[in-house]
Amino acid sequence: MTRLNARAKPVRAPVQARSANTVEAIFQATVQVLIQLGIKQLTTTKVADRAGVSVGTLYQYFPNKEALLCAALERHLNAVVSAVEAACSALKGQSIDVMSETLVSAFMQAKLGAPDASKALYVVAQELASADVVALMTQRSQLALCDMLATASDATFNDLRVVSYMLSTALVGPVQGLLHTEVPPEFVQQVKAQLVGMTAAYLKQARSSPLTAAVRHARAEQVSLPN
């Protein structure tokens, strides 16, 4: 397992639109080569050829293969977490049932929308010592879940940190498993339905109490207060 270090950091971030397009092409090529050849046979030369740039151009942004793979993994994880954050933000003030349905849908779409890419980058996560990156992304997800659950219209929770931890880890396992199993779409839909039911049941069991009329009124008063 490769240890991430200073060599794995990108040389510089793109600023101009042209540079951003070049980096995007490099990322896309990285995923394509990973899918086609796997991590062991991936080289910066092959990625540059696929992206239509010179190796020298690639090295302007990523000094080596390790840095390139690390950046591609972080980009993928960031996209998944951003989808969770967006869903959580949109779900504030909703009921447990609505939160469960929409959150599971958003998470599964983010993970399974491009399954080949997710599988390839999952291997990268195993090969690289990416614990720090994964921990940061997990922290972001759990914070978003805490913020969402704190506004549930029909529940309050004693310890949102524990609830968000249980919820996030419970979702990851089954969805991650689908990436490594050849199953028909009908099976995926059944898993989704089970996850929605499981999430809603857990949140209802974990709540300290249903939201009372007094708490609803207090929340409504807070929302209506002028800034």
CATH number for the domain harbouring residue 56: 1.10.10.60
Q: How far is CA 138 from CA 74, 92, 152, in A?
A: 12, 20, 21
* pLDDT of 2: 41
* pLDDT of 179: 87
Q: Which of 25, 48, 66 is the last residue of a domain?
A: 66
Q: Which of 41, 66, 91 is the last residue of a domain?
A: 66
Q: How far is CA 108 from CA 81, 150, 174, 189, in A?
A: 12, 23, 10, 10
Name, in order, each residue with C-beta under 8 angstroms of 71's C-beta and a sequence gap of 6 or more: 10, 27, 62
Q: Which domain range does residue 103 map to?
A: 74-224
As a whole number of angstroms, the distance between CA 113 and CA 101 comes to: 17
As a whole number of angstroms, the distance between CA 122 and CA 35 comes to: 11
* pLDDT of 7: 47
As a whole number of angstroms, the distance between CA 22 and CA 17 comes to: 9
CATH of the domain at 145: 1.10.357.10
pLDDT one-digit tens code per residue, 181-190:
888 999 999 9
Q: State the average pLDDT for the chain.
A: 87
* pLDDT of 212: 56
Q: Is the pLDDT of residue 223 over 50?
A: no
Q: Pick the residue with more confidence: 179 or 195? A: 195
Same domain, 55 and 78: no
* pLDDT of 226: 41
Among 7-11, 46-50, 147-151, the minimum mean pLDDT is found in: 7-11
Residue 84's pLDDT band (cuts 50, 70, 90): very high
A 10 A CB-CB count for 110 gives: 20
Query: Is residue 129 helix, strand or coil?
Result: strand
pLDDT one-digit tens code per residue, 96-124:
999 999 999 999 999 999 999 999 998 89
* pLDDT of 210: 67
Same domain, 123 and 212: yes
Same domain, 195 and 122: yes
Same domain, 22 and 131: no
Q: What are phi and psi of 156, to 5 degrees?
A: -125, 155
Residue 12's pLDDT band (cuts 50, 70, 90): low
